[in-house]
């Protein structure tokens, strides 16, 4: 029965922190780096441990065809579940909190409510989505994208990874090619707890972020073809230098977003020059462009500005330029009522909060297509993530989980 008020319950912080550490020890490569990359043996080991904890909590385990793992606390009258979670796959040389924190905190919420004798009106489901990071298979956030109907399951399963493997075959090999159809549970709401992966909360000294928007993302691969020639004998005015042209693109991007004075950001994260010889002018430059903005019109403007610049550059540098779109996600506006619930839950616990935009992509942006969704952020030390130095203070981890607990209780009691 629901006999306790929201603020009298708290998750078992010691157990949550212990599980974060334990899962963080699973999936290290030969160099000692945490590399629990999607659908690898390391990912299997992490999934197996998570499923073990879910079973210990008495949850029904379900796995869908894209490998998303669900722990279901069923038995409620209303079939539409409150869903919480994130992912447990990592990049290479990762930290231990990204994604994993949201999944294990979601499990902690269920265990806390079970111990308190709470009877939810709706099922509560904790989910670990497949391939959120996209480190082996593109695009990232694949499991939640398939779940929300944004990518066909057969197309996703046929994806070829960076190592030549096929996702569907690898999921079957590790035992996580499930039989449920993606989307088999239609959430009443989805709430994702996550470390910020940025410096803002720590900088302003606040423990909780109520995420109201998530930046749109545009990924492109640019290829510039010039002419290889001798580095010593070819005059600067007579060169068709693909490397120089690539450098001009990087400078243009930085200048463009800086002049905008908006929340736009631009990154060239991958760059390869050919023939990659010290005394040869590059004949080919291949690089990625990552553009992000919480405003769709500004994101489109940035894409258009880049396209115009590439056209002009091709003429000026006498090079050929081609562009391949890798991924494109529009900005997300999360559910206002859920954002307000997060703010109110934090306030009742005496935890100051602020509304935020997420600069990183998350599974919540995909689930927002099919259900009211929102996110809770907790501070990241120095904004560091995707790095072994990733760290959030224990009291902040516990505080975020308690806010998630309160929000889930309210969602399970509301009509």
CA dihedral sign of residues 43, 176, 372, 23: negative
Q: Which residues pair with 323 in a beta bridge?
A: 222
Question: What pLDDT does residue 79 have?
Answer: 87
In 96-162, alpha helices (H): 100-115, 142-147, 153-157
Instruction: Give the separation between CA 291 and CA 207, rounded to whole angstroms.
Output: 28
Per-residue pLDDT of the chain (415 residues; tens, 9 = 90+): 343 444 589 999 999 999 999 999 999 999 999 999 999 999 999 999 999 999 999 999 999 999 999 999 987 677 899 999 999 999 999 999 999 999 999 999 999 999 999 999 999 999 999 999 999 998 899 999 999 999 999 999 999 999 999 999 999 999 999 999 999 999 999 999 999 999 999 999 999 999 999 999 999 999 999 999 999 999 999 999 999 999 999 999 999 999 987 788 999 999 999 999 999 999 999 999 999 999 999 999 999 999 999 999 999 999 999 999 988 889 999 999 999 999 999 999 999 999 999 988 899 999 999 999 999 999 999 999 999 999 999 999 999 999 999 999 999 986 6
Q: How many CB atoms lie under 10 A from the CB of residue 233?
A: 7
Instruction: Give the separation between CA 71 and CA 81, rounded to whole angstroms.
Output: 11
Q: Are 192 and 364 in contact (CB under 8 A)?
A: yes
Instruction: Give the separation between CA 384 and CA 335, rounded to whole angstroms.
Output: 28
Taking CA atoms, 391 is separated from 14, 26, 32, 34, 208, in Å, by: 16, 17, 18, 14, 15
Question: What pLDDT does residue 335 have?
Answer: 98
- Based on the number of CB atoms within 10 Å of its own CB, is 215 exposed (0-12), middle (13-18) or buried (19 or more)? buried
Question: What pLDDT does residue 356 have?
Answer: 95
Question: What pLDDT does residue 6 have?
Answer: 45
Question: What pLDDT does residue 413 have?
Answer: 82
């Amino acid at each position: 029965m629901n006999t306790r008020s929201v603020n009298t319950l708290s998750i078992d912080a010691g157990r949550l922190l212990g599980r974060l550490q334990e899962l963080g020890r699973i999936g290290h490569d030969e160099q000692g780096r945490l590399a629990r990359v999607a659908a690898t043996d390391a990912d299997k080991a992490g999934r197996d441990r998570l499923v073990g904890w879910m079973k210990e909590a008495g949850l029904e385990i379900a796995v869908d065809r894209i490998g998303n793992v669900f722990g279901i606390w069923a038995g409620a009258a209303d079939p539409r579940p409150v869903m919480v979670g994130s992912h447990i796959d990592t990049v290479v040389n990762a930290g231990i909190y990204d994604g994993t924190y949201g999944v294990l905190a979601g499990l902690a919420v269920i265990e806390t409510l079970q111990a308190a004798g709470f009877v939810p009106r709706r099922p509560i489901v904790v989910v670990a989505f497949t391939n959120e990071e996209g480190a082996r298979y593109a695009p990232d956030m694949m499991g939640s994208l398939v779940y929300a109907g944004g990518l066909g399951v057969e197309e996703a399963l046929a994806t070829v990874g960076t190592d030549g493997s096929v996702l569907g075959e690898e999921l079957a090999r590790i035992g996580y090619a499930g039989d449920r159809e993606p989307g088999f549970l239609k959430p009443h709401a989805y709430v994702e707890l996550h470390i910020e992966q940025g410096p803002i909360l720590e900088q302003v000294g606040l423990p909780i972020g109520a995420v109201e928007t998530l930046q749109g993302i545009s990924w492109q691969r640019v290829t510039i073809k010039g002419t290889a020639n001798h580095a010593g004998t070819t005059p600067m005015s007579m060169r068709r230098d693909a490397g120089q042209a690539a450098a001009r693109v990087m400078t243009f991007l930085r200048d463009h977003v800086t002049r905008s004075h908006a929340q736009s950001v631009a990154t060239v994260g991958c760059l390869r020059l050919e023939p990659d010889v010290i005394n040869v002018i590059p004949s080919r430059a291949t690089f990625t462009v990552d553009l992000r903005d919480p405003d769709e019109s500004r994101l489109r403007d940035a894409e258009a500005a880049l396209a115009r610049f590439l056209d002009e550059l091709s003429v000026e540098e006498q090079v050929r330029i081609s562009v391949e779109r890798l991924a494109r996600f529009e900005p997300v506006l999360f559910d206002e009522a859920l954002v307000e619930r997060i703010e109110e839950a934090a306030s009742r616990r005496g935890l100051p909060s602020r509304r935020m935009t997420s600069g990183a992509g998350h599974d919540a942006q995909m689930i927002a297509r099919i259900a009211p969704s929102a996110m809770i952020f907790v501070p990241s030390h120095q904004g560091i993530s995707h790095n072994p130095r990733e760290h959030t203070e224990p009291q902040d981890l516990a505080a975020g989980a308690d806010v998630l607990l309160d929000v889930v209780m309210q969602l399970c009691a509301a009509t």
